[in-house]
Amino acid sequence: MEPKQIAKQMIDFNKTAFDNSFEAMIVLQDQAEKVVSSFMKQNTLVPEEGKKAVADWINTYKKGRTDLKKAADESFKKVEAAFAIK
C-alpha cells in the first residue's frame, strides 16, 4: 500500500472519529440544556440575574462548540491538502 493511501485512511479515520464524538457531545449538551432550562423555568427561587447568567453560559458554549467544529474541519482540510490527498 502506498504512503499517500495510508495517510488518507488515517486522516479519514480520525475525521470520522472526531465527527462522531463531536455529535455525541452535542446530543449530551443539548439534553443538559433542556434539563437546565426546564429547571430554571420551574424554579421561582432563582433570580432573573441567575437565569440570564445561565442563558449566557448556554450561548457561550454553543458558540464555542461551533468555533471548535469549524477549526477542526479547516484543520482536516489543511492536512488533506498538505498530503495532496484526493
Taking the chain, what is the end-to-end CA distance rounded to the nearest angstrom? 16
Question: How many helices (H) does the chain have, and how many strands (E)?
Answer: 2, 0
pLDDT digits (tens, 9 = 90+) for 39-81: 988 988 889 998 999 999 999 999 999 999 999 999 999 998 8
CA 14 to chain centre: 15
What is the pTM for the complete model shown? 0.81
Mean pLDDT of the chain: 91
- Cell numbers at residue 23, please? 455529535
> Residue-wise over 76-85: b if at least 16 C-beta within 10 A, else e?
beeebeeeee
